[in-house]
Structure 1
């Protein structure tokens, strides 16, 4: 893992564990509060622990030093073990409540070790390192006034598991020989219990601080997220097209400034959309009016061209090419007018579907038979595939797709029909060179030209766009891709359940929606029939 991807993965993991901003705020507040409380409690505990132990330790050691000076120091030069035992018991009888162990040599020079309470304090309880330190004589100089010092060590007895303080010192005399050494054993269990109580109190305080921090975080998150949620709801309504959505602004903080910015943006967007809608409506009216106005003269011109076409063999050879040009251009213009009228119906939202139960194989056969394409098309479709749709609009879709395949790919064109769960799939594949990759995203665009140097073509440039719109009005779609073995493949997908279609029981079609000659092979990719060679 590189350094660049590690932060991204960490952020992704963090976002997955804490998906909401509220949860993140609460967790962050809780972590900060927990860290602060644990740090403060730990510092307080260690400071109090050190103070309690130091106070208890100093009090016991000072008392032991004084008691040893008073009792062991008053022993005769030649003492016996009984006198040493009495001194140990006398030393243990102070208010510090510790046990005493004394070592020395009696008058006969024999070692004597006595304890104030043998069951509570034995020689084995004194660490060997402490005994060595107590018995070690140090040279007296300017930095050391005494040859022997008082030493201490904290231990835990295995017998009861309680903590103890062990201290020891050697009585300073005229001679080291026979001078007794004394040790004290003081239980630190009360101090331990006090420190445990303090630890519990600090732990409870930490827990309360954590709960308080989480409650504060919840309140802060609510305060912060409420306007954010209102902003999100407003943005959703704005995205749904409710351009009059505005936020109530109060305060002068960053969220209030964000709300003002949102309101300004919404106002600007509303004005812009209103302007664009007005322009689009004007454009639609212009195209619709122009199409209707052109239809009447085009009807008359078409009638004249039909007559001229019938008499073409009787015309002067010099005039015949011009007549043929007029006939072809008139047909092209008539197709363009019909396609423009169809486009205006889609744009205006007035296009209707007239549903019927259709055998898809029969419908495809009728489409190619009506246009004399039977010899150029291979059909792979089972009989009995019944789908509820608009047969006229399916005919328009098939005519455009098959016509384009024949024009640009050549015959034979293969049509396959199959069903998938709740979907009818019709594929139209040709044997041509395919569609250039840079053209594929634009094959369904209106008037798209793959070659800017050849803007004029036989088609209207609207056929594939109209086919796509007819698929959309059924709740389906058309996609285009190139087959691996060569050739272009157009795939039509339509839902085949009646409840999946936008059926209009009152729709009987638009009188102006006569398909006419709405099946010319319009240009693929660029909208022009003569652009096929540029694929």
Structure 2
């Protein structure tokens, strides 16, 4: 997948993370501030509008009560009350007036300027009680009766009702004023504030988007740089501008990248030096080893004629020379893998014939049971497959128990070769390390006939085919099981070409001789 496609996939993921959180936080703060400001503004305006309307109506009503109702006789007739109520209402058309007079005890006279709008039933009982209640005269109270009011609703419509009575005798008056117009004005104000809140929310989202873009652009560049650095592009650097925290972060990243690049270069140089040393040493050792091998072959042919006191020493020299030769060849093979110069030479191989040839070349026919059908074809490097099989089967024969069973089967485009023995199995603490180089399962066995590299080389040969090897113990506890998985066609595997092999000079039997079959297996049991 291309980097552009990856960025296209990751773009919505980035939107749902920091960018979205910034927008949500900005919007939440703006919404809280706008709602709070709108609520306070609405409450203040509501109180101001209602208080102004209420004070104006009650002041006019008090003045009318003093000028008109107080001028009535102590026991006015109904007509006199009606005329006074209508005059008071006509003086201010915004409200209705109700007057209550007294002719005889318990026989009140009730008149209203607008009987369809305001009757005595519209006056709350608690307001009438407060208006009729005589207050004690004292230092803090100069009059026995006061003006009382309250705001209430009737059929969902708000209105103001107030009342008072004439001091010294006379009618009791009540005023009724609708507050519907004020409610409509306040509703309009509420809608205006709601629209302002919505606009503030949209504006905050746009500001948050702009702020998020400003903040996240350097973060995105940092993420891209870190991704490139993780991909091995150690020369990646960020352009630093400004003196803020993001600029300081970019400087820190550049310093870290430079330090990492230097350390990797130093490690690569040391690794290359070590690899070159091993390769040069191996090549240099091959010349004297060739001479030593020739001499040991002569000595081995003459060992039966030598003095019995000398023969053991000759046999030791012969075996150790061969062991040293195997070690040198293995080291050369390892350096090829480390340097990336190992190559595949693929060919159409009958896997059953290849396994049979590996077993027959090492005289293992009596110790190995083969379960493989002829005709299972695969495009593999036969020499490298032979190295893998020799190490796995030799390891099973040396550390496992006979018979060793080798089975071959194709599964879903893969080739599975299973090597099973009947030995004690592999200790659990050793299993993760069986393919490590020079790993020894027991510190008390630092020496063995093998080089300690066999299974590691087998794994490298599997990897270069595009496959792998796994090691485990048999579920029934009877021995260990190594499973080799290879693709049926390794033509497209890494480092594959058809022009020969860089290690062909090692000879066709490199890694397949009888001594090499135990490479690395001494550390597996």
Q: TM-score, normalised by structure 2?
A: 0.89
- Partner residue in 1 for 2:18: 21
The Cα shift of 1:39 comes to 1.4
Q: How much has 1:230 moved relative to structure 2?
A: 1.6
Aligned to 1:186: 177
Superposed displacement of residue 463, structure 1: 1.0
Residue 107 of structure 1 deviates from its aligned partner by 6.0
Relative distance call for 1:498 and 1:104 in structure 2 (3 A) is: farther
Aligned to 2:66: 69
For 2:111, the equivalent position in structure 1 comes to: 114
Whole-Å separation in 2 of the counterparts to 1:54 and 1:499: 93
What is residue 5 of structure 1 aligned with on the other side? none
2: CA distance, partners of 1:266 / 1:235: 9
Q: 1:518 to 1:326 in 2, by over 3 A?
A: same
Residues 1:356 and 2:347 are matched in the alignment? yes
Q: Please give the per-residue CA displacement for 1:83-132, whole angstroms capped at 9, x wherever unaligned.
A: 22222222222446011222233469633222211111233322233223
Using the TM superposition, give the Cα deviation of residue 345 of structure 1 relative to its aligned residue in structure 2, in angstroms: 0.9
Alpha carbons of structure 1 residues 47 and 305: separation in structure 2 relative to 1, 3 Å: same
Change in 2 beyond 3 A, CA 1:173/1:248: same
List per-residue Cα deviations over 1:445-484 (Å, max 9, x = no partner): 2112333343222111111111111122122222333344
Matched-pair contact (CA < 8 Å) for 2:135–2:145: yes
1:100 paired residue number: 97
Partner of 2:68, secondary structure, is helix
| Cα drift, residue 143 of structure 1 | 3.6
Decide whether aligned partners of structure 1 residues 267 and 365 sit closer, same or farther in structure 2, where only a CA change above 3 A counts. same
Aligned CA distance change for structure 1 residues 185 and 260 (closer, same or farther; 3 Å): same
Partners of 2:441 and 2:243 in 1: CA distance = 55
Structure 2 residue aligned with 1:494, among 483, 486, 504? 486
Q: Does the aligned pair in 2 maintain the 1:91–1:100 contact within 8 Å?
A: yes
- Give the aligned partner of residue 522 of structure 1: 518
Is the 8 Å Cα contact of residues 352 and 504 (structure 1) preserved in structure 2?
A: yes
1:262/1:170 CA distance change after superposition, 3 Å: same
1:8 matched residue in structure 2: none
- What secondary structure does 1:375 align onto? coil
Which residue number in structure 2 is paired with residue 228 of structure 1?
Answer: 219
Q: Determine the structure 1 residue equivalent to 2:300.
A: 309
- Between the aligned partners of 1:139 and 1:40, the Cα distance in structure 2 is 45
Q: Deviations over 1:37-58 (max 9, x none)?
A: 1111111211221222122222
Provide Cα deviations, 1:301-338, integer angstroms capped at 9, x if missing partner.
Answer: 32333333333333332222222212221221111111
| Aligned position for 2:30 | 33
Where does the alignment leave 5 or more consecutive residues of structure 1 unmatched? 1-15
Q: Return closer, same or farther for 1:412/1:132 CA change in 2, 3 Å cut-off.
A: farther
Find the counterpart in structure 1 of residue 279 from structure 2. Answer: 288
1:169 aligned to which of 164, 167, 171: 164
Alignment of 1:85-164 (within 5 A): 85-95=82-92, 97-106=94-103, 110-158=107-155, 161-164=156-159
Q: Report if the CA contact (8 A) 2:455-2:521 is conserved.
A: no
Bigger drift between 513-522 and 318-327 goes to: 513-522
Distance 1:50 1:374 in 2: 107
Q: Kindly indicate whether the alpha-carbon contact (under 8 Å) linking 2:511 and 2:517 is maintained by their aligned counterparts in 1.
A: no
Q: What is the Cα deviation at residue 300 of structure 1?
A: 3.2
Q: Provide, for residues 365-397 of structure 1, a one-character-per-residue CA deviation record: whole Å limited to 9, x for no partner.
A: 333333233333344445544333222222212
Q: 1:267 aligns with which of 258, 261, 273?
A: 258
Cα distance in 2 for partners of 1:407, 1:298 equals 27
User: For residues 254 and 210 of structure 1, what CA distance do their matches in structure 2 show?
Assistant: 29
Asked whether the 8 Å contact 2:278–2:331 carries over to 1, the reply is: yes
Query: Aligned Cα RMSD in Å?
Result: 2.6
Cα distance between partner residues in 2 of 1:503 and 1:386: 22
Look up the SS of the partner of 2:447 in the other structure: coil
- Selected match of 1:390 from 369, 374, 381: 381
- Equivalent residue of 1:20, what SS? helix
The answer as to whether partners of 1:407 and 1:521 remain within 8 angstroms in 2 is no
Q: Which residue of 2 aligns with 1:426?
A: 417
Asked if residue 255 in structure 1 is aligned to residue 246 in structure 2, the reply is yes
Query: 2:498 matched to which residue of 1?
Result: 506
Which residue of structure 2 lines up, in the alignment, with residue 9 of structure 1? none
Q: How far is 1:507 from its partner?
A: 3.0
- My pick for the range that moved more, 127-136 or 82-91, is 127-136
Q: CA deviation at 1:517?
A: 4.5
Q: Against the structure 1 CA distance between its residues 496 and 126, is the aligned structure 2 distance closer, same or farther, given a 3 Å change threshold? A: farther
SS in structure 1 opposite 2:236? coil
2:471–2:483 CA contact under 8 A, matched in 1: yes
